[in-house]
Amino acid sequence: MSNGSLRTLDRLGDVNGTRVFVRVDFNVPLADGSVADDSRIRATIPTIRELLDGGAALILASHLGRPKGAPKQELRMAPVAVALQEALGGAAPVRGVGMPAEPSTMEAVEGMGAGEIVLLENLRFDPGEETNEPAFAGALADLADGYVDDAFGAAHRAHASVSALPELMLASGREAVAGRLLAHEVEVLGRLREGPDRPYVAILGGAKVSDKLGVIDALIDRVDTLLIGGAMAFTLLAAGGGSVGRSLVESDRLDDVRAAQTKADSQGVAIVLPSDVVAAAEATDDAGVTIVPASAIPDDLIGLDIGPETVERFAQILVDAKTILWNGPMGMFELEPFAEGTRGVARAVASVGAFSVVGGGDSIAAVRRLGLEGSFDHLSTGGGASLEFLEGRSLPGITILEG
Ligand code: ADP
Ligand code: MG
């Protein structure tokens, strides 16, 4: 669980004339065959530049989507190579190549000069990536003299490129270290995990309470107050006897959320649920909406956002916070009638002086859509990885880089 002992780029020493494998998280959203949001690419540019400036040749690799172990035309890395080239602003040529063991890949890698980049094809086109297969890791290891992991978003998975590969590198006397992005994530999230300034308030939302029971449980041990919005609030409201209409309720989780509530009570942690919600008969972008009490939603309506009174109550609590963690939108923010709760909470976080961290793919998309990314101290690039890290679990992709 320690994070002071992460080996970083400094440990690599002089990289001039060497070939460095960099595991990046270029699992970016695509639309119409191009990269729709290049934030994850831009986040790793400092690591790439530092290595290039040092005179290394770079082999970059990532997964993209869920091809399930076989090539899929729409999940090829070609558009990512274009976006990377743009993000680098011509600082280095980027060449897209195939899978590691292909002769053409080997040839391209062997012909690389200092300051050049090749981008491997989607790692998950090979079934060995997700099964952490030594043979696949071996093919990756054959390409480089050293290994850098900058893919925080993939650190919670024991996959070949983040687990077996660095193990192999170390076993063969080569370095395996964390890139700047990964090290920064571990530092910032480590601060939330180990010594947050108090009061520490966490805001949880999003779709499924079942995805986040582990986080809720771990956060109860760490925070002073837990504000809960999003669809997950309805499972808690229903567990407390509320009428939630046709809102999303995971009825097989009622006992779990009751147990969480009991634990919170015994530790003096307040779980604050919505008092009013924005409800509609259907989730559409021209839905007629009404504001109703959160525990008395009419039978024919769905709760799709937290209401104005709840936004105000959450904002009041956030005013005093010194540390804020936010994961999960407050409502179905993709549709304008249900975006106001997320917007209001984002503004409330932005307006207080607390150290604020946002994690989660959809939460960050929401913050960007609202143009509020500058208002947070840290936007974590990890979704599942951030949450597992905050739960206090050890992540295979990080453990191997420690010591
Ligand atoms: P993150 O990716 O930030 O971890 P999640 O994936 O858990 O967040 O949840 C995001 C999704 O939750 C969004 O697509 C949003 O529309 C949905 N959501 C939030 N509130 C509601 C609600 N009240 N009813 C239905 N869906 C909701
Ligand atoms: Mg999500």
Q: Are 180 and 291 in contact (CB under 8 A)?
A: no
Domain 195-391 class in CATH: alpha beta
Task: Tell me, yes or no, if the two domains 3-183 and 195-391 fold the same way.
Answer: yes
Q: pLDDT value at position 369?
A: 85
Give the span between the Cα atoms of 329 and 363, in whole angstroms: 5
* Tokens, residue 280: 């509609």
| Residue whose CB lies within 8 A of the most ligand 1 atoms, among 357, 362, 391, for a mutation test | 362
Q: pLDDT value at position 4?
A: 53
In the chain, where the domains are located: 3-183, 195-391
Looking at the DSSP bridge assignments, the partners of residue 30 are: 35
Q: Dihedral (C-alpha) 79, 80, 86, 89: value to the nearest 10 degrees?
A: -150
* Tokens, residue 122: 């989607």
Give the span between the Cα atoms of 246 and 303, in whole angstroms: 7
pTM attached to this predicted model: 0.89
* Tokens, residue 271: 């779980």
CA-based R_g, the chain, Å = 23
360 lines ligand 1 (CB under 6 A): yes
Residue nearest to atom 14 of ligand 1 (CA): 332
Question: What kind of architecture, by CATH, is found in domain 3-183?
Answer: 3-Layer(aba) Sandwich (3.40)
Q: Which ligand is nearest to the CA of 330?
A: 1
Q: What is the pLDDT along the chain (403 residues), one digit of tens a residue?
A: 444 589 999 999 999 999 999 999 999 999 999 999 898 999 999 999 999 999 999 999 999 999 999 999 999 999 999 999 999 998 899 999 999 999 999 999 999 999 999 999 999 999 999 999 999 999 999 999 999 999 999 999 999 999 999 999 999 999 999 999 999 999 999 999 988 999 999 999 999 999 899 999 999 999 999 999 999 999 999 999 999 999 999 999 999 999 999 999 999 999 999 999 999 999 999 999 999 999 999 999 999 999 999 999 999 999 999 999 999 999 999 999 999 999 999 999 989 999 999 988 888 888 888 888 888 999 998 888 998 998 889 999 999 999 9
230 lines ligand 1 (CB under 6 A): yes
Pairing of strands 276-280, 290-293: antiparallel
328 lines ligand 1 (CB under 6 A): yes
325 lines ligand 1 (CB under 6 A): no
Instruction: Catalogue the active-site residues.
Output: 40, 208, 361, 384
The distance in angstroms from the start CA to the end CA of the chain is: 11
Residue nearest to atom 16 of ligand 1 (CA): 332
Determine the distance separating the centroid of ligand 1 and the alpha carbon of 114, expressed in angstroms: 45
Q: How far, CA to CA in Å, does 305 sit from each of 233, 314, 385? A: 10, 14, 26
Determine the distance separating the centroid of ligand 1 and the alpha carbon of 61, expressed in angstroms: 30
Q: Are 94 and 81 in contact (CB under 8 A)?
A: yes
